[in-house]
Amino acid sequence: YCYLCHDGSRYLFCCDSCPRVVCEHCLGLVEVNPTLCDLDVKFKCPGCHELDKCDAKSKHQQTRRFPPSFPAFTQNEQRVPVQVLKKPVFMMGVCERASKAQVCADSILILHLVCAGMEHWGPLPQLLHMTLKEYHTEDSLTYEEVTFDMGTNTKLAQWIRKAGCLGAKLAAQDFRHKIIFVTVHSEVTCSDLFAGKNEGGEDCRKDLLFISHFIFQFMHYVFAPPLHELVYASTLFMLMCGHLVTFEESFIAMKQAITCLWPEYTILFTTPNFISAVTKMFTVAYSIQVLVQGHTFHEILLDLLNVSLDLHMHTDVLFIHISGLHPPKPPFGSRTHTPIVALSPSIIGYQYSWYHSHRCPWGNSLPIGCPGCGAVRSWSQSKHNPEGKHVKAWVTSCLVCGWKVFSEPLQGEYQLQGNKVLGWIRYILWATQAL
pLDDT tens track for 135-168: 888 889 999 999 998 888 888 899 999 999 999 9
Residue 64 has pLDDT above 60, yes or no: no
Tell me the mean pLDDT in the region 62-87.
Answer: 76
Tell me the mean pLDDT in the region 196-218.
Answer: 57
How does residue 174 score in pLDDT terms, banded at 50, 70 and 90? confident
Tell me the mean pLDDT in the region 309-338.
Answer: 72
Average pLDDT, the chain: 84
Domains (range + CATH), the chain: 1-103 (no CATH), 108-339 (3.40.50), 356-434 (no CATH)
Residue 120 has pLDDT above 90, yes or no: no
The pTM of the full predicted model, rounded to 2 decimals, is 0.82
**End-to-end C-alpha distance for the chain, whole angstroms:** 38
Residue 253 DSSP SS3: helix
Smallest CA-to-CA distance from 263 within 292, 223, 293, 295 is with 223
Give dist(CA 398, CA 416) in Å, integer: 25
Smallest CA-to-CA distance from 93 within 22, 39, 162 is with 22
pLDDT tens track for 228-253: 999 999 999 999 886 676 778 888 88
Residue 356's beta-bridge partner residues? 360, 422
pLDDT tens track for 355-406: 999 899 999 999 999 999 999 989 999 999 888 888 899 999 999 999 999 9
How does residue 214 score in pLDDT terms, banded at 50, 70 and 90? confident
Give dist(CA 124, CA 181) in Å, integer: 9
Give dist(CA 213, CA 6) in Å, integer: 47
Residue 212 has pLDDT above 60, yes or no: no
Output the pLDDT for position 99: 64
Q: Are the C-beta atoms of residues 160 and 217 closer than 8 Å to each other?
A: no
How does residue 90 score in pLDDT terms, banded at 50, 70 and 90? confident
Residue 95 has pLDDT above 90, yes or no: no
The per-residue b/e assignment along 345-375, b for 16 or more CB within 10 angstroms, e otherwise, is bebbbbbbbbbbbbbbbbbbebeeebeeeee
Tell me the mean pLDDT in the region 105-119.
Answer: 89
Task: Give me the torsion for CA of 127, 116, 273, 220, rounded to 10°.
Answer: -90
Output the pLDDT for position 337: 41
Beta strands 422-434 and 12-14 are: unpaired
Output the pLDDT for position 228: 93
Using CA of residue 81, residue 85, residue 90, residue 96, what is the dihedral sign? negative
Give dist(CA 280, CA 283) in Å, integer: 5
Residue 203 has pLDDT above 70, yes or no: no
383 vs 188, more confident: 383
Output the pLDDT for position 252: 87
Tell me the mean pLDDT in the region 273-290.
Answer: 93
For 160-309, strand residue ranges (E) read 177-183, 193-197, 210-213, 235-239, 265-269
Output the pLDDT for position 101: 72
Q: Are the C-beta atoms of residues 176 and 328 closer than 8 Å to each other?
A: yes
Quick one: which H or E segment has residue 406?
A: strand 404-407
Output the pLDDT for position 189: 62
Q: Are the C-beta atoms of residues 416 and 423 closer than 8 Å to each other?
A: yes
Output the pLDDT for position 61: 52
Give dist(CA 431, CA 348) in Å, integer: 6
State the Rg of the chain over Cα: 26
Give dist(CA 44, CA 223) in Å, integer: 42
Tell me the mean pLDDT in the region 401-413.
Answer: 92
Q: Are the C-beta atoms of residues 335 and 325 closer than 8 Å to each other?
A: no
Residue 336 has pLDDT above 50, yes or no: no
